[in-house]
Amino acid sequence: MSDEIKISKKNLWMYSTFVLIAVVVIAGVLMFSGGSGSGSGTGNSVGGTVSASIDDDAVLGDANAPVTIIEFSDYQCLFCRKFWTETLPSIKSEYIDTGKVNLVYRDFPLASIHPMAQPSAEAAECVREFGGDEAYFEYHDKMFEEQNLLGAGTIQYTTADLKSWASELGYNIASCLDSGKYASEVQKDTRDAQAAGGTGTPYFVVIGSDGKGTALSGAQPFSAFKQAIDSKLA
């Protein structure tokens, strides 16, 4: 008796089809998990020297600090929230609060997949108009906190929520937000992010006193920022 395993043409076609479907599914998962649209997860250092300006955006920390981190971000992005919850606190305590680093928050709303990102960015600018940079970052924290409470973006919020959150902090932004006053400012930030090499959020440029910037893409761990910052302070 032969030890050969014989497979009919019908079964061979069926098995081949299953294998093809599995390959397509796996490829799709890999593309989704590493994509650039809604963020790049833990991301990778982009490498090389890039340039980006602080423009006239809100600054957290000493404006004269020797190192500046420019964050291009999206208030509806889960990876941006991940950076806020897991990495920014360590950067703040070790570098920002000690005067070594400041962080400039610039907007990069991915409007095609995050419909509330643009109005959220405009709302933050309205709060800044009334209360300055300190109020801006207070509202910045409020929005990311609310994103947590809303099931990490699974429940959609509205402009009414944006106004309500600002009101809780003591700011009436209704007329400012409804006017679209800061729409062009937010759009300019988006163009600048793309010009600096950003393709997804969050996207960072770490700039030293020599004006040269190093890009970091995605919700990087604190260790990645520490390496980039220390190299600029050296």
d(CA 160, CA 129): 19
CATH number for the 59-233 domain, one of 3.40.30.10, 3.40.640.10, 1.10.760.10, 3.30.470.20? Answer: 3.40.30.10
d(CA 83, CA 81): 5
Q: What residues does each domain of the chain span?
A: 59-233
Contact 168, 127 (CB under 8 A): no
Whether 87 shows a pLDDT value over 60: the answer reads: yes
Question: pLDDT band at residue 20, thresholds of 50, 70 and 90?
Answer: very low
d(CA 39, CA 28): 16
> Would you report the helix, strand and coil content of the chain in percent, each value rounded to 5?
50, 10, 40
| pLDDT per position as a tens digit, 140-195 | 999 999 886 665 455 678 999 999 999 999 999 999 999 999 999 999 999 999 99
Q: Give the per-residue pLDDT at 13.
A: 41
| pLDDT per position as a tens digit, 181-202 | 999 999 999 999 999 999 999 9
Spatial CB neighbours of 180, under 8 Å, sequence gap ≥ 6: 122
- Respond yes or no on whether the N-terminal peptide bond of residue 202 is cis (omega within 30° of 0): yes
| pLDDT per position as a tens digit, 92-132 | 999 999 999 999 999 999 999 999 999 999 999 999 999 99
Average pLDDT, the chain: 83
Q: What are phi and psi of 5, to 5 degrees?
A: -100, 115
Q: What are phi and psi of 45, to 5 degrees?
A: -60, 130
